A = this chain, B = another copy of it.
């Protein structure tokens, strides 16, 4: 019912922000269906919640975990990062604008640090306050429960990527994951890779060199087109989808 028609954006904006995502989905305000959590985090009760600004590489401070919290990403990207004792780095999960991350001190100790992978602002809602709100608001509850299982299944998909897929297949999956989670609409052809090659590698269980080679390989295959270093366009949706699903016999990715 919003009077506006979808704006004719063909490439998504560089800066990752909720407003951009919202705009690119073609709807506004309560009409925006792409990131439903955000609006609920924006309720009056939550407006008072502290907003934290982070730069690329910044870690959330320990004191931000002194009680269980829900982080709501307004713009940028955050990740849960873990390091093995010898320094190997993994990014266990990513959160984009409009998404949230449940954390508490014990969890953090177990699984890793929360870091920003770009200039980021997150709203920090104490878990207790959030739970009270959940109890009062059936609609929020419905959305939250729905979203929670979505997130779990995102993690499952990610495990599937890491467990048995080749680098090219992981990369193809990741490109679709980005497209979905950034709510890039159909009519947008090219969009920004919001994190560095190194971070992509650490998320996909690869080395940065391999990410480079695989991206080039996908480009040679005609599946995608790289525009500069940080933008990508999917040229062959079907082909890329097949690669992501492991349908292709094999993709020789080395040179």
CB contacts (< 8 Å) of A93 on chain B: these are 156, 159
Assess A155 versus B155: contact at CB under 8 Å? Given A90-B164, A162-B205, A164-B88: yes
A56 within 8 A of B: no
Q: Is the CB of B149 within 8 A of A92?
A: no
Q: Is the CB of A157 within 8 A of B90?
A: no
Chain B, residue nearest A244 (CB): B84
Chain A residues within 8 Å of chain B by Cβ, number? 44
Q: Give the interface SS of chain A, mostly helix, strand, loop or mixed.
A: helix
Q: Find out whether the CB atom of B112 lies under 8 angstroms from the CB atom of A156.
A: yes
From B151, B157, B163, contact of A152 by CB (8 A): B151
Given A93-B156, A159-B158, A164-B90, the answer on whether A149 and B102 have CB atoms closer than 8 Å is yes
In the docked arrangement, what's the CA distance between A253 and B185, Å? 47
Please indicate the chain B residues that have their CB under 8 angstroms from the CB of A158 in the complex.
Answer: 159
A153: Cβ under 8 A from any B Cβ: yes
Q: How far is the CA of A145 from the CA of B162 in the complex (A)?
A: 27
Q: Is A85 an interface residue (CB 8 A)?
A: yes
**C-alpha spacing A152/B242, complex, angstroms:** 29
Interface check A15, CB cutoff 8 A: no
Per-residue interface assignment for chain A, residues 151 to 188, with 1 indicating a CB less than 8 Å from any chain B CB and 0 otherwise: 11101111110111100010000000000000000000
Given A84-B165, A107-B149: A159 in contact with B246 (beta carbons within 8 A): no
- Asked if B111 and A153 make an inter-chain contact with CB atoms under 8 angstroms apart, the answer reads yes
Shortest A68–chain B CB gap in Å is 8
Interchain CA distance A145-B110 in the complex, whole Å: 17
Known contacts A86-B247, A86-B249; 9 further A-B pairs (Cβ under 8 A): A80-B156, A82-B160, A84-B160, A92-B159, A102-B149, A107-B149, A159-B159, A162-B205, A163-B204
